[in-house]
Amino acid sequence: MALHATVVVLETGALTWVATRLVILFAHADAKAAEADTARNTIASQARHDRLAGVQWNADLLLMADGFEEGVQMLVNAVAASAYSMRDGSGEVSSLAGTAASRATAIAASC
């Protein structure tokens, strides 16, 4: 029984590490999304200025950059959605591991 309790405790530690890494990844994804927004705003502002000056090639570049940024934003959103899903799943697994650890401890104490 003690071996099982030890395994459960080790699994709980591993799940805690996974949950911590997910939190770090969420922060990283949020920072990258903010960088993308800043870059898009800068490019959009510069493109408006250039179009007013009559420089057509900058407008074309903006369209290309917007398309690229939209593609990157879609990827960031997909990664964030997957990470949130993983976080939810790891929370459930962590909860189950905690319950199992409590039960194992109770069983070990009763032996």
The residues near 15 (Cβ < 8 Å, ≥ 6 apart) are 90, 93, 94, 97
pLDDT confidence band for 98 (50 / 70 / 90): confident
Residue 56 has pLDDT above 80, yes or no: no
pLDDT confidence band for 42 (50 / 70 / 90): very high
DSSP 53: T
Segment 35-53 shows an average pLDDT of 84
pTM: 0.38
The mean predicted confidence, pLDDT, of the chain is: 83
